Amino acid sequence: YMAPRPGYGIPLGGISPMAAPGSEVEKLTTLFIGGISPGVTDDWMEKILKTCGTLKSWKRVKDQSGNPKGFGFAEYADADSVLRALRVLGGEGSGDDKKDKGVVLPALEEGANGKKLIVSNHFLINCFLILIPHLNNILSTYIIG
């Protein structure tokens, strides 16, 4: 969890509490899953994530209208499942030619392109990736304004 600095009450606009896992165990067993192609449902994502091990929870981030965004957080029951997801879904540790490794989800909406899944267990990077869509609002509210 990244607490705002004193005097900087940064609104995160409805970001799920899963964005900042609380316990040390959750931090180690929660993965950021990004690059989800348009039209891919939560049910399909859960099926894909379960192929790597025991999935405790899947939380997809939604926009203010309730529409699913292209990322979320998967919490696994054990470290083996996390490592398998990093290797199989994200292509981590696959050698020199990583661009051809990992899972590419086809776009299920007309006119959209498929995307390679981003699977990360780097907690600070995950928090930064979540904040990117909100940077314009943060800058205009707290720094520029």
Residues 98-135: tens digit of each pLDDT: 555 788 888 777 877 888 888 988 665 556 655 666 66
pLDDT the model gives residue 139: 59
| Closest alpha carbon to 73 in 62, 87, 65, 88 | 62
pLDDT in tens, 68-94: 999 999 999 998 999 999 999 988 765
User: Which whole number is the average pLDDT over 61-72?
Assistant: 90
* Domains of the chain, first to last: 34-93+112-144 (3.30.70.330)
Task: Give the mean model confidence (pLDDT) for residues 41-47.
Answer: 94
Report whether 137 contacts 13 (CB < 8 A).
yes
* Percent of the chain whose pLDDT exceeds 90: 34
| H helix runs in the chain, sequence order | 24-29, 42-50, 79-88, 123-131, 135-138
Closest by CA position to 39, among listed 72, 69, 74, 73: 69
Residue 56: per-residue pLDDT: 96
Q: What is the pLDDT of residue 127?
A: 60
pLDDT, residue 102, reads: 82
Q: Give the rounded percent of residues in the chain with a pLDDT score beyond 70.
A: 59
Residues 6+ apart with CB under 8 A from 47: none
Q: Which residue has the tokens 């776009």?
A: 107
